[in-house]
Amino acid sequence: MYIRKHILNIPFRCYSSESRINSFIKSKLMSAEDVAQKFPEQITIGASGFTPAGYPKVIPSAFAQRIKNSKNPENFSINLYTGASTGDELDGVLARTGRMKLRIPYQSHPDLRKLINEGKLNFIDMHLSHVGRYIREGIFPPIDVAVIEACDVTPDGRIYLTNSSGMSGTYLSLAKDIYIELNQAHPLEMKGLHDIYLPELHTGRPINIDYVDDRIGTPYVRVNPERIKGIVLTDKFDSSKGFKQPDDASFKIANNILDFILHEVEYGRIPKKLLPFQSGVGNVANAVLACIARDKRFNSIEMYTEVIQDSIFDLLDSDKLRFASTTALTFSAQGQIRFFKEINELKSKFILRPMEISNNPEVIRRMGLITMNTALEADIYGNVNSTHVLGSSMMNGIGGSGDFTRNAYISIFMAPSIAKGGKISAFVPMVSHVDHNEHSVQVMVSEQGLADLRAKTPKQRAKLIIDKCVHPMYKDQLNDYFQHAQRVSFAQHTPHDLKQALSWHVRLQETGSMHPDHQQSQQPTSKDTEKAAKKMDETVPNKK
């Protein structure tokens, strides 16, 4: 399956050796402050950036300063569309103006999260594969201005993106005006990494990607150069701090997953050369890749995912990464330096695709992916909550986890069984919010073990999850609930006691712990939910 020719071959060194500041760029140069002055007060911005990579870093700050200096800041209103989460230089500075009115489709910034959960900012949490169509069909307000980070712009309107593709192609095609942040921190060797192709609407034509390294588009986005109203020079890295090193629980989860995959290979349900992997972000996802790099039972893997992190270097160092397709390279500063240093060699192993392709259900289903995503909590029947604390407080968003889970060959959800020293169980009688239902969740994993939920009835699922995944300090309680539910439920297919199903969440809100031994004699206050959400925010890694 690995010996093929690309549909479209792109030379690895397809950049100019001359200075990137050509005559066209010189004619368009502006300061960030000058660009900000041209923005309308009521504005919808389509910005580059994905979790958080390749986002504009100086124009948003200048616009925020303009709002701050205005005699009538209340006249300003901002709708912000991106690919996913971005850095403080975009999400943070605009959130702190207090004038952001709509944010889509994903976020992870604490200032944004605070506004969302205070009801001061409209946030639409949605599957990333739906974003492009909603915007292209006019379901969302039209884009006034596209602000896109690039490493090069040519006189004929070719825009070469940096560390992410995300929604940039769509925003560039639809925006009335285009402003470019030309980031000279990115070498011209970035040219050739991207494969830009936007699917047509309503044609039914297939997206001709069968393998992770297939190319069907161009290494740039092409626009009418007259629509490019200004170019601002920058030289800043993305502000991603990376993720914490995986802990012992993360490595145990990773090893449980790898043992399961090899079991499936043994039974012939996964080919010996394996299937492509999709992996979410965070400690557990990093642990999986680190374990593959160290495990002699794995020789070579492919990835078809939406975010690549520093953990990819473990696979590269062990010579186990054959190829990786993504929409963003989210590296720490050290990872970014290494990637640039080795870019001529690494370009043969990476493709960056638009979000409409990386998250496209058609392509994901055809590929036959093994998907691995993080759960905030799961219930005994296999329903997963990825987004809400205590059913009400938004964390980050569903991101692409639904796109991959619903179309996977094998969908895996993983979570440490407890958090906050045992005060919170990741496995509960009933989740307080559902993002992924039991029909999509095939495998559940914690450091305690792995539950294969395929071809199981709801009650069989419950027994497996309690037996394999739940922490010992909560196992008896969850067993007691399940037995009680079977006695009192009015039906036996999926037994629940609705009076008790969310009692663990109520206990957490009232006492700060789901465990009865941690109960405190206090009355719940209006700030209990906010405190619980803050505790979870400190515990749960960003997923997109």
CA distance 324 to 349: 6
Strands 158-161 and 145-153: antiparallel
Query: Does the annotation mark 538 as catalytic?
Result: no
- Tell me the CA distances in angstroms from 438 to 398, 454, 458, one per residue in order: 16, 10, 9
Cα 297 → chain centroid:
29
> Which residues on adjacent β-strands are paired with residue 277?
303, 370
Chain centre distance of CA 458? 29
Instruction: Say which DSSP state 41 is in.
Output: S
Burial of 296 (0-12, 13-18, 19+ CB in 10 A): exposed
How far CA 436 is from CA of 38, 398, 401, in Å, comes to: 43, 9, 9
Sequence-distant (≥ 6) Cβ neighbours of residue 317 within 8 angstroms: 293
Long-range (24+ apart) CB contacts under 8 A made by 201-208 are 201/133, 201/136, 201/137, 206/362, 207/357, 207/360, 207/362, 207/363, 208/7
Structure tokens at 8: 């479209």
Q: What are the residues facing 177 on neighbouring strands?
A: 145
In sequence order, what are the residues at sequence separation of 6 or more whose Cβ sits closer than 8 angstroms to the Cβ of residue 478?
Answer: 380, 425, 427, 428, 429, 466, 470
Distance, C-alpha 127 to centroid of its chain: 10
SS3 letters for 334-360? HHHHHHHHCHHHHHHHEEECEHHHHCC
Single-letter residue type at 462: A
What is the three-class DSSP state of 364?
helix
| E strands present in 330-474 | 350-352, 370-374, 377-379, 384-385, 388-389, 393-394, 410-414, 418-419, 424-425, 427-428, 443-446, 449-452
For residues 7 and 128, give the distance between their C-alpha atoms in angstroms, rounded to a whole number: 26
How far apart (Å, rounded) are the C-alpha atoms in residues 273 and 323?
13
Q: In this structure, what DSSP letter does residue 75 have?
A: G
Sheet containing 443-446: which strands, arranged edge to edge?
Answer: 350-352, 321-326, 301-304, 277-279, 370-374, 410-414, 443-446, 449-452
Of 306, 356, 438, 447, the active-site residue reads 306
CA distance 47 to 60: 10
Q: Which two tokens stand for residue 127?
A: 């599957």
Q: Which two tokens stand for residue 343?
A: 């870019």
* Euclidean distance between CA atoms 157 and 160, whole angstroms: 10
| Catalytic residue list | 306
